[in-house]
Amino acid sequence: MHHTKASASTNSRRLLASGALAASQLLLFTLPAAAVTADDPAPATGETRTAEHARGSAQMGEGILAYEGVQGVPADTRVARTRGVDVSSHQGNVAWKKLRKSGVRWAYVKATEGRSYRNPYFAQQYVGSYRSGMIRGAYHFATPDTSSGAAQADYFVKRGGAWSKDGRTLPGVLDIEYNPYGSTCYGKSPRQLVGWIRDFLNRYEKRTGRDAVIYTSTNWWKKCTGNYRGFAATNPLWIARYASTVGPLPAGWKWHTMWQYTANGRIVGDHNRFNGALDRVKALANG
């Protein structure tokens, strides 16, 4: 998946919130740097995005913010909800100790996109969050129009998305949302998209022994998968909605596991709430 984010990213987020599209977004070893295009705002135009949005630059929730916008400020609640963040190359080197001191206890880091992009800041972000005392995991930004679900799951697992039962590593996340590079549903029918998602999830489970988390928005899921309910029994739901409440969930899920509720949090923009206390975050990490 949230203000003191890097200035370019902050400007992009503000543009997104006003209806424009921003065109840029361990393994315990340093990954080689990949080219990241600087922010280059381009207008959102209904069902498609312009080709100026560089491949690899997508970040969790940017399409949701562009298409669905901000619908309200999250209400305070007495229910135990553990704070977390999600980051990508747009945040650069993250001040993890400062975040943890502010109350953040878990983090997800973008590892890969498609089959050609690796986050050049992955090592600092993934290892840094771990060293600060957080529970952390990795996410993959799906591009179903570029290669198969199984191929992208393999790419993700090999480049940061693997899981280890150390009590501090969360299962990988499939970020499946509005296409930042073209047609909203990646030029696929609901049946084709569901098949693609299933292939990714099955391969990830086979490679890691864990069921991946699905990150999406209810509106996108209804539009592009036909509100498919078949993954709810096995895959935790991370819902994105910048509003006062989580709102309706996609079909099948009776509750959400995580909620990305704002793109304007402290230190880094994308902030989230885990639907439970810290012991439940640890339980998800432990499988």
Which of the residues are catalytic? 86, 175, 177
Which residue, chain included where needed, has tokens 């409440």? 245
Q: Cβ neighbours of residue 190 under 8 Å, at least 6 residues apart?
A: 224, 225, 226, 228
How far from the centroid of its chain's Cα atoms is residue 90's Cα?
13
State the Cα–Cα distance between residues 84 and 104, nearest whole angstrom: 5
Contact 141, 110 (CB under 8 A): yes
The 3-state DSSP composition of the chain as helix, strand, coil percent (nearest 5) reads 30, 15, 55
Cα–chain center distance at 91:
14
Amino acid at 188: K
CB 137 within 8 A of CB 170: yes
Cβ–Cβ under 8 Å, residues 252 and 231: yes
Instruction: List, in sequence order, the alpha helices (H) in the chain.
Output: 7-17, 62-68, 96-101, 122-131, 149-156, 190-208, 218-225, 278-286
How far apart CA 95 and CA 104 sit, in angstroms, is 12
CB 53 within 8 A of CB 21: yes
Under a CB-based contact definition with an 8 Å cutoff, are residues 46 and 6 in contact? no
